[in-house]
């Protein structure tokens, strides 16, 4: 197990290094921030001075080496447009995204897993039809359309819930539901198919032949094995939710990482874009590593050589 974790940590570092190269190059392809920051009356001399101030007058390999050295010390640079360090902006936006992500993840687990298991247990019944319809709508319906419809319904029409900004518990209801519906749909489908496969296995049939109560068969024998694929999907889903949804945060004016990323892209703010994308990649890598480690504890049959 320790050797496996060490190998995965090395792979994680290599992946982050490759991600940093991709982010650095792609951000420079979006445009020149010096041109964005110049005024209408500025000329070539002001442009060259702006490039020197931003460090853009050096070759790309030199800029990347400097960027990598600063990132290794936790310094993502200073925002060109907000006059603050990218790390400060990221730390300021992270709590809002974390709170929204965990609220959405709680809905995903509390609603998605039981609904998928009930759909499998009560196959071809009304519960099963509802679960499949819920999953299809969650996967097929665009999240921005759901968000706009819910804003119109619960805001101007009914006036039941706040539709923008970050505040009390009521502010979490709409954005958390919209953010989690697609992941809930995936959990419902995955837990249903996994549970159906386990229920048709030989050891479950043998447990029923022995005369065990159906509740014991479901919770002790079937669910423990059916939950392993859901665990993988859930871990990666949490990483995706932590990264923040640009659409949801923009529609609901939620001051999180996704909104910060879009703002950095629109303003060609390289430090902000690089900081948010690298943070998102780190979330994914750490979540995938934790899920792999949890495998061995959830199912003792799984071992790493």
- For 182-226, the pLDDT digits (tens) are 888 888 888 888 887 777 777 677 667 777 676 777 776 667 777
Q: pLDDT band for position 40 (50/70/90)?
A: low
Q: How many domains does the chain have?
A: 1
Closest Cα to residue 207, out of 220, 196, 191, 193? 220
CA distance 56 to 47: 11
97 part of a folded domain: yes
SS3 42: coil
Give the pTM.
0.71
Task: Determine, yes or no, domain membership for 72.
Answer: no
pLDDT at 16: 81
User: What local confidence, expressed as pLDDT, does residue 18 receive?
Assistant: 85
User: Residue 220: which CATH number?
Assistant: 1.10.3720.10
Report the candidate in 81, 82, 85, 62 with the shortest Cα–Cα distance to residue 73.
85
Closest CA to 109 of 242, 235, 199: 235
Task: Flag whether 29 is in a domain.
Answer: no
Tokens found for residue 88: 């400060």
What number of CA atoms fall less than 13 Å from residue 39's CA on the CB side? 3
- Check residues 35 and 117 and name the one with the higher pLDDT: 117
pLDDT at 303: 54
Whether 251 maps to a domain, the answer reads yes
- Residue 40 belongs to a domain: no
Taking residue 209's Cβ as centre, other Cβ atoms within 10 Å add up to 8
How much is the average pLDDT of 157-174? 80
Domain range enclosing 201: 86-298
- Judge whether 192 lies within some domain: yes
| 47 part of a folded domain | no
- Looking from the CA of 77 toward its CB, the CA atoms found within 13 Å total 23
- Classify residue 181: in a domain, yes or no: yes
At 269, list the tokens.
């703010």
């Amino acid at each position: 197990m320790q050797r496996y974790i060490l190998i995965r940590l090395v792979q994680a570092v290599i992946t982050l290094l490759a991600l940093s190269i991709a982010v650095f190059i792609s951000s420079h392809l979006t445009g020149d921030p010096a041109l964005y920051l110049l005024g209408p009356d500025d000329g070539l001399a002001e442009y060259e001075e702006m490039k020197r101030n931003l460090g853009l007058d050096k070759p790309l390999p030199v800029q990347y080496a400097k960027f990598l050295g600063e990132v290794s010390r936790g310094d993502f640079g200073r925002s060109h447009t907000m006059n603050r360090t990218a790390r400060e902006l990221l730390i300021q936006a992270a709590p809002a995204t974390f709170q929204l992500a965990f609220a959405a993840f709680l809905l995903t687990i509390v609603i998605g897993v039981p609904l998928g298991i009930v759909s499998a247990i009560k196959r071809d019944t009304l519960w099963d039809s509802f679960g499949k319809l819920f999953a299809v709508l969650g996967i097929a319906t665009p999240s921005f359309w759901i968000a706009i419809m819910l804003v119109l319904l619960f805001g101007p029409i009914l006036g039941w819930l706040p539709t923008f900004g970050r505040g009390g518990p009521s502010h979490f209801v709409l954005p958390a539901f919209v953010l989690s519906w697609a992941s809930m749909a995936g959990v419902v489908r995955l837990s249903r198919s996994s549970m159906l496969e386990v229920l048709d296995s030989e050891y479950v049939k043998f447990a029923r032949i022995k005369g065990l109560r159906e509740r014991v068969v479901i919770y002790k024998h079937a669910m423990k094995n059916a939950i392993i694929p859901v665990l993988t999907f859930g871990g990666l889903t949490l990483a995706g939710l932590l990264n923040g949804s640009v659409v949801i945060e923009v529609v609901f004016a939620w001051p999180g990482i996704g909104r910060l990323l879009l703002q950095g892209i629109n303003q060609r703010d390289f430090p902000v874009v690089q900081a948010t994308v690298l943070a998102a990649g780190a979330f994914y890598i750490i979540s995938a590593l934790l899920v792999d480690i949890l495998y061995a504890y959830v199912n003792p049959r799984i071992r790493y050589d």
